[in-house]
Structure 1
Amino acid sequence: MHSDTAPARTPAPAPSPSSAPTWDPGQYLRHAGHRAQPFLDLLNRIPELPARPARIADLGCGPGNVTALLAERWPEAHITGFDLSPEMLRRAGEEYAGPTIGGGRLDFRHGDLAHWLPEETYDLIVSNAALQWVPGHPGSFGPWINGLRPGGTLAFQVPGNFTAPSHRLLAELCDTPRWRDRLAGHGARYVHVLEPAEYLARLIELGCTVDVWETTYHQLLTGTDPVLDWVKGTALRPVLTRLGDDRAAVDLFLDEYREALREAYPPGPRGTVFPFRRIFAVARKEA
C-alpha cells in the first residue's frame, strides 16, 4: 500500500529472526493507554466463547499488558501469549505470567507468527497490532480457523495508517541519497495490511460469520515531539535496529525525521493531534 506521493518501491523481504527489529518494551509502553484502546474496542465485539474454561492464544502479545486484559474478560481461561521478541517475552513473563484471580493462568511462549500453527484446539485466537509485521498473514487464516473449536473466534486489529505522514515521511527519508544505501526499504518494509473489504471477503470464504470495521482515533499526544516518541516504539524499530550502535547516525537520522514530523503534526495548545486509523475483524467459526 503506497501513498500517491510516495516513491514506488518493491517491498523488502521479511527479515529472518536474527535480523528482526529489536524491541524496547519500555518505549512501547510509554503510550500504553492509546495503544490499548483499539484492543478494548475489539474485545467488546468478541462473542461468547464456546467452552469454559476457554483456551485462548494471543498472537504477538508484546509486553503482555493487553494479554492481561483477556484474563479480565475470561478470568478462568488458560491464555498463552506468543511473540518473536525475547525482550517483549521477558517483560510479559515478569509482569503477568502465572495464575489468574479466576482460577485460570497466563503464560508466554516464543512464536513466529509467520509460521505459527495451532498445536491444540482454541476457543479464541486474537492478535493486537501485530499482523502488519507478517507478510502473507491472510494465508494463515485457514489453518488458524481450523484450529478453533466450533463456535470459536478469530479476532484481530491492525494499523491502517501506512499512508499517513508519519509513515510516508519515514519511507521517503530512508530513500534519500544520504540514507539509501543503509536504509532503503526499511521505512516501508512491513506494509502487509489489506483493506477492510479484502479481509471481509477472505474470512467469509472460510465459512465464518464476519464483522469487519475501521476506526480513525484522533489521539491527543502530549510532551515534546510526541509523534516521534510514538513511532520510536513501533515503525522506527527496523531503522533503529539497522543503524545499531552508530550513535552519530542515529542522532542525525532522528534530527531529520523530527523536523519533518514537527511540520506534519504541529502542536496545539493542549497537545499534538495524531490521527491513527485501525482495521478490525472478528470472524466466528460455524458452530
Structure 2
Amino acid sequence: MKKENYSAAYYDDIVAQSLGGLRKKYAKFISYVREPLQPRRIVDLGCGSGTLCAYLRERFPTAEILGLDKFETPLASARQRYPGLLFKSCDLENEDFPVESASVDLVTSHEVIEHLDSIDHFFRETCRILAPGGIMILKTPNGLDLMRYVARLTGSIWYADHDKTHRRYYDYFSVKDALAPFGFSRLSAHTGTKPLYRKGIVIIPAIPFLGNGLVVVAGK
C-alpha cells in the first residue's frame, strides 16, 4: 500500500463506520460460506476500525478473534471501541502475519486486496496460518462488473473508482488463478452481491460473472 494515498478524510470515513450500519452487509458476506461454521480462532485481515471483528464476536461469541491492519489510525480506534478484541499492526503485503502456522479456522478479509499491489504474500501467509479444514472468505470489487463498462461509456465514475487508494481489481477468473499456487481447495467465487436493478417489486438479478462485488471462499 502507498501511505500517501490515505488522507485524514479517508481515515475519518473508516473510523466513522458503525457496526449497526454494517451488520446486514457482514451477515450476507459470511453467508457465502455454505458449510457450518464453528470457528475457535478467527483472523480478520485488513480489519480497519474493527467493525467486522465486532460482528464476528457477536456471531461466534466463544471464538478468539484477531484483527490485523497496517495503519495505526484505524487500529487505535478499533482498540478504543472494542477493548475485548485483539488488534495488531501488520503490513499484509510484506510482513509475515503474527499468527502461528495451521492455527486459524476462519480468515476473513472484506474489501482489502484491491488496496494491494501484489497478493502473492497475502495468500501465501493466509494459507500458512489456516488449519486443515480452515476457510478463507474475502470480498473485493469485481473487475468485470458490467457497471464498470457502462460508467466508461457514459462518462461517469464506477463506484469502486471513487476510492483512489485502490491498486488493482480482480474478477472470477483472475482471483482463482491467483489462488492456485498456494494450496487452497474447495474454491468458489461469487459475483453479483446486489441485483443489477431493483425498484419496488421489480428485481433484475445480476448477470453471472458480470455482477458487482466478488466474494471468494477457499478451504484448506
TM > 0.5 fold call:
yes
The share of aligned pairs that are identical, in percent, is 23
| Distance (Å, rounded) in 2 between the aligned partners of 1:284 and 1:27 | 31
Q: Does 1:279 align with 2:208?
A: no
Secondary structure of 1:280's partner? strand
Aligned-residue offset at 1:158? 0.8
**Alignment partner, residue 233 of structure 1:** none
Q: Which of the pair has the greater relative contact order for Cα pairs under 8 Å at 6+ separation? A: 1
Aligned-partner Cα distance in 1 for 2:15–2:122? 30
Find out whether 1:21 has 2:6 as its counterpart.
yes
Give 1:153's aligned residue.
Answer: 135
Deviation at 1:142?
Answer: 2.6
Q: Calculate the aligned-residue CA RMSD, in Å.
A: 3.5
Q: How does 1:85-100 map to 2 (within 5 A)?
A: 85-98=71-84
Mark the runs of 5 or more structure 2 residues left unpaired by the alignment: 200-205
Q: CA contact under 8 A between 1:25 and 1:87: conserved in structure 2?
A: no
How many residues matched? Answer: 193
Q: Kindly indicate whether residue 68 of structure 2 is the aligned counterpart of residue 68 of structure 1.
A: no
Greater radius of gyration (CA): 1
Q: TM-score, normalised by structure 1?
A: 0.56
Cα shift at 1:42: 2.3
Which residue of 2 is the match for residue 224 of structure 1?
none
Query: Which residues of structure 1 form unaligned runs of 5+?
Result: 1-13, 99-105, 172-184, 221-267, 269-274
Q: Say yes or no: does 1:44 pair with 2:31.
A: yes
TM-score, normalising length from structure 2?
0.71
Residue in structure 2 matched with residue 191 of structure 1 by the alignment: 167
Shift of 1:113: 1.8
CA contact (8 A) 2:66 2:87 kept: yes
For 1:169 and 1:148, how far apart are their aligned partners in 2? 41
Describe how 1:1-287 pairs up with structure 2 within 5 A.
14-15=1-2, 17=3, 19-22=4-7, 23-25=11-13, 28-29=16-17, 33=21, 37-46=24-33, 47-48=35-36, 54-98=40-84, 106-118=85-97, 119-120=99-100, 121-160=103-142, 163=148, 165=151, 169=156, 190-205=166-181, 206-217=183-194, 277-285=212-220
